[in-house]
Amino acid sequence: MILALSSALYIPGFVAFIFTLIVLIDAATKPDEQWERAGKNKVGWIIALAIGLVFGCVGLVAGIIYLAAVRPSLTAAAY
Cβ neighbors of 17 (< 8 A, separation 6 or more) are: 53, 56, 59
1-57: pLDDT as tens digits:
566 667 777 888 899 999 999 999 999 999 999 999 999 999 999 999 999 999 888
Find out whether 63 and 23 touch, Cβ atoms under 8 Å.
yes
pLDDT at 3: 60
| Of 44, 76, 75, 79, residue with least CA distance to 62 | 44
